[in-house]
Chain A
């Protein structure tokens, strides 16, 4: 088994334990903040590298993490996790654990996240209709992130990590292109 696989298995164990204990403490806002934190770690790879350097003291690493979490208003929620990880010298797993926590939380709370893209601005009423539509289709609670996407030409696209609903001119053009094998 590769090193990456080992990391994944280990991270999942920590995430499961955390979610089992603190699921009720995770609010909608903290869920959003965990996502932002994930993005932060994805764009600041050096932070993870810093956490994996063995000759930096665990207190220093914990302090750094707590400061970052403070910025995302997550220090209270994640403090116990940081403590355990620091004790077991596995702070460098934090970014993978956060991803797993979010996925497990979504699974347990029956939540599905969708990207809603439209060629033109959609008002809040229409967004509610879309939310209802998705809830009916999936049977899950929907959290959506709305953006405009001119490349659709005209139309709408609803996309999660496993589902897609698209009705746009762009898609119809693509279908025509495939039909004519261009």
Chain B
């Protein structure tokens, strides 16, 4: 059937008669574009952080409100924005899609999938800047979040809802600790969110593959804003990750979120601020760089409804300088820090955690009774060992008790060494620390300590599963269990054969 042009027009005129009195849209005209930022004249009633839509399809967020114009940061650097293009208000802030379908997926800072596994159907859309839970809604941090890393769980315990900073120079194993922690959450009912900010795509691909191979991707959401993406995306990625985490937290689930790393986030924000011609302050960061991270990390916590959001932000230092601007900010915001030491890393002590400087402000409240019982004197012992070690390097002759202390200290350092991707359950950790505390390692050679603890834990697990199960269920070591463990340890010591003699 042929439709004439005039028919179409009359049809349209007919429909125009029934046009609802639509609202006048508020618009602005692009007057300047450059460096992924554009100045828009008009938009007189626009609000700070409001999402703006451009006629050409791009979107942006308002970061500056001036008398006659607004500055908008563009979300996509692949869609061009031309001078005199129309920009429209949307009346809402940027919202990110959230939902359970995001588990096992890799998305960008706008919530779009980048893993070629198809569209994700979200449960809802949430604003990326949300109010932090109030004091009344929060519950104290009193439940342990196992990392599976002995040095952390024994000495710097992390609780559900805590914010623990991982800080260190480049290539000291910061991300490795975070990845190990994710891997350890398998079957622990903890949802993990890994936010990669300004990292190389190759690194992220490696991490995704690793999580997939270890069956950890099913309970993990990965948000990526790599170094090649628009600076705004790098700025947004942690907030998007946090919003997805909050979605699960409000459903009563435990969530672990890793920000890898916030140094790049601060750098992205600095770049944006300088482009917006905001006054630079210390290290050229803007005045509100503290607020940038404090408002993000304040969203972590444990709620009364049972849900929790545990944050592990990562910060990279230059030449072990933890007194730089961003590291000191983050140290003061978080509830403790795990400091990684280049020197320890080069000595082969991995994870290279400096246990003297690292701290968890939540402390024992986040530890199980069982772990508490067997770690009481460990920190002190390690401190004395390091002091004596410095002293012994002067060639001084040491008395017998000092030599004994040195030996015990070296055993303690040895058991805290842990290869990557091998995590211990809290019962394994109890058994290892028990062996150290009750001096079962004393007559061993240092090189045999690792094989002893591995074999001992597996011996208890396979030969005395009831003891193992009892500790697991009660999360405590009763006097009876302690007595039984001593007998088992004596029995095992008699049959232990070092690996090199097998």
Show the binding face of A for B, using Cβ within 8 Å.
Answer: 120, 137-138, 154-156, 158-159, 161-167, 169, 178
Q: In the complex the two chains form, is A169's CB within 8 Å of B12's CB?
A: yes
The minimal Cβ–Cβ distance linking A22 to chain B, given in whole angstroms, is 23
The minimal Cβ–Cβ distance linking B430 to chain A, given in whole angstroms, is 54
Please indicate the chain A residues that have their CB under 8 angstroms from the CB of B148 in the complex: none
Those 3 A-B pairs whose CB atoms lie nearest each other, nearest first: A162-B42, A154-B12, A164-B27
Known: A154-B12, A178-B57. A163 touches B41 (CB 8 A): no
Q: How far is the CA of A155 from the CA of B86 in the complex (A)?
A: 18
Minimum CB distance partner of A136 in chain B: B21
CB under 8 Å from chain A, chain B span 1-50: 8-9, 12, 16, 19, 22, 24-29, 41-44
Q: Which residue of A155, A165, A178 contacts B22 across the interface (Cβ within 8 Å)?
A: A165
Q: In the complex the two chains form, is A161's CB within 8 Å of B25's CB?
A: no
Please indicate the chain A residues that have their CB under 8 angstroms from the CB of B16 in the complex: 155-156, 167
Minimum CB distance partner of A174 in chain B: B55
Further 13 A-B residue pairs, CB within 8 A, beyond A162-B42, A163-B27, A164-B25: A154-B9, A155-B16, A156-B16, A158-B24, A161-B42, A162-B27, A163-B26, A164-B26, A165-B22, A167-B16, A167-B19, A169-B12, A178-B57
Known: A137-B24, A167-B22, A178-B57. A162 touches B12 (CB 8 A): no
Minimum CB distance partner of B44 in chain A: A162
The minimal Cβ–Cβ distance linking B34 to chain A, given in whole angstroms, is 14
Contact sample, A vs B, 12 pairs, CB 8 Å cutoff: A154-B8, A159-B27, A161-B28, A161-B29, A161-B42, A162-B26, A163-B27, A164-B24, A164-B88, A165-B24, A166-B25, A169-B12
Q: How far is the CA of A141 from the CA of B142 in the complex (A)?
A: 66
The minimal Cβ–Cβ distance linking A11 to chain B, given in whole angstroms, is 13
Q: How far is the CA of A21 from the CA of B389 in the complex (A)?
A: 87
The minimal Cβ–Cβ distance linking A131 to chain B, given in whole angstroms, is 14
Q: In the complex the two chains form, is A165's CB within 8 Å of B25's CB?
A: yes
The minimal Cβ–Cβ distance linking B212 to chain A, given in whole angstroms, is 28
User: Which of A162, A163, A164 is packed against the most chain B CB atoms within 10 Å?
Assistant: A162
The minimal Cβ–Cβ distance linking A4 to chain B, given in whole angstroms, is 11
Please indicate the chain B residues that have their CB under 8 angstroms from the CB of A159 in the complex: 27, 86
Q: How far is the CA of A108 from the CA of B227 in the complex (A)?
A: 50
Minimum CB distance partner of B5 in chain A: A154
Number of interface residues of B (CB under 8 A): 19
Please indicate the chain A residues that have their CB under 8 angstroms from the CB of B29 in the complex: 161
Q: Contact flags (1/0) for B303-325 with A, using CB distance below 8 Å?
A: 00000000000000000000000
Minimum CB distance partner of A158 in chain B: B24
The minimal Cβ–Cβ distance linking A125 to chain B, given in whole angstroms, is 14
The minimal Cβ–Cβ distance linking A83 to chain B, given in whole angstroms, is 29
The minimal Cβ–Cβ distance linking A72 to chain B, given in whole angstroms, is 25
Please indicate the chain A residues that have their CB under 8 angstroms from the CB of B27 in the complex: 159, 161-164
Please indicate the chain A residues that have their CB under 8 angstroms from the CB of B42 in the complex: 161-162
Q: In the complex the two chains form, is A138's CB within 8 Å of B24's CB?
A: yes
Q: In the complex the two chains form, is A120's CB within 8 Å of B25's CB?
A: no
Minimum CB distance partner of B20 in chain A: A167
The minimal Cβ–Cβ distance linking A148 to chain B, given in whole angstroms, is 13
Please indicate the chain B residues that have their CB under 8 angstroms from the CB of A167 in the complex: 16, 19, 22
Q: How far is the CA of A165 from the CA of B57 in the complex (A)?
A: 18
Q: How far is the CA of A102 from the CA of B25 in the complex (A)?
A: 24
The minimal Cβ–Cβ distance linking B18 to chain A, given in whole angstroms, is 11
Minimum CB distance partner of A155 in chain B: B12
Please indicate the chain A residues that have their CB under 8 angstroms from the CB of B57 in the complex: 178
Q: In the complex the two chains form, is B25's CB within 8 Å of A163's CB?
A: yes
Q: How far is the CA of A111 from the CA of B9 in the complex (A)?
A: 33
Minimum CB distance partner of A8 in chain B: B68
Please indicate the chain B residues that have their CB under 8 angstroms from the CB of A178 in the complex: 57
The minimal Cβ–Cβ distance linking A120 to chain B, given in whole angstroms, is 6
Q: How far is the CA of A169 from the CA of B12 in the complex (A)?
A: 9
Q: In the complex the two chains form, is A161's CB within 8 Å of B41's CB?
A: yes
Q: In the complex the two chains form, is A162's CB within 8 Å of B28's CB?
A: yes
Q: In the complex the two chains form, is B12's CB within 8 Å of A163's CB?
A: no
Please indicate the chain B residues that have their CB under 8 angstroms from the CB of A161 in the complex: 27-29, 41-42
Q: How far is the CA of A19 from the CA of B60 in the complex (A)?
A: 37
Q: How far is the CA of A162 from the CA of B69 in the complex (A)?
A: 11
Q: In the complex the two chains form, is A163's CB within 8 Å of B24's CB?
A: yes
Q: In the complex the two chains form, is B88's CB within 8 Å of A162's CB?
A: no
Minimum CB distance partner of B25 in chain A: A164
The minimal Cβ–Cβ distance linking A147 to chain B, given in whole angstroms, is 16
Q: How far is the CA of A137 from the CA of B25 in the complex (A)?
A: 11
Minimum CB distance partner of A166 in chain B: B25
Q: How far is the CA of A169 from the CA of B9 in the complex (A)?
A: 10
The minimal Cβ–Cβ distance linking A80 to chain B, given in whole angstroms, is 27
Please indicate the chain B residues that have their CB under 8 angstroms from the CB of A158 in the complex: 24
The minimal Cβ–Cβ distance linking A182 to chain B, given in whole angstroms, is 10
Q: How far is the CA of A135 from the CA of B25 in the complex (A)?
A: 15
Please indicate the chain B residues that have their CB under 8 angstroms from the CB of A137 in the complex: 24
Q: How far is the CA of A137 from the CA of B24 in the complex (A)?
A: 8
User: Which of B8, B27, B28 is packed against the most chain A CB atoms within 10 Å?
Assistant: B27
Please indicate the chain B residues that have their CB under 8 angstroms from the CB of A164 in the complex: 24-27, 86, 88
Q: Contact flags (1/0) for B451-483 with A, using CB distance below 8 Å?
A: 000000000000000000000000000000000
Q: In the complex the two chains form, is A162's CB within 8 Å of B9's CB?
A: no
Q: How far is the CA of A138 from the CA of B9 in the complex (A)?
A: 29
Q: How far is the CA of A120 from the CA of B9 in the complex (A)?
A: 9
Q: How far is the CA of A162 from the CA of B86 in the complex (A)?
A: 9
The minimal Cβ–Cβ distance linking A29 to chain B, given in whole angstroms, is 26
Q: How far is the CA of A99 from the CA of B405 in the complex (A)?
A: 84
The minimal Cβ–Cβ distance linking A103 to chain B, given in whole angstroms, is 9
Please indicate the chain A residues that have their CB under 8 angstroms from the CB of B9 in the complex: 120, 154
The minimal Cβ–Cβ distance linking B41 to chain A, given in whole angstroms, is 7
Please indicate the chain B residues that have their CB under 8 angstroms from the CB of A154 in the complex: 8-9, 12
Q: In the complex the two chains form, is B19's CB within 8 Å of A162's CB?
A: no
Q: Contact flags (1/0) for B66-109 with A, using CB distance below 8 Å?
A: 00000000000000000000101000000000000000000000
Q: How far is the CA of A178 from the CA of B42 in the complex (A)?
A: 24
Please indicate the chain B residues that have their CB under 8 angstroms from the CB of A156 in the complex: 16
Q: How far is the CA of A167 from the CA of B26 in the complex (A)?
A: 15
Please indicate the chain A residues that have their CB under 8 angstroms from the CB of B41 in the complex: 161
Q: How far is the CA of A137 from the CA of B22 in the complex (A)?
A: 10
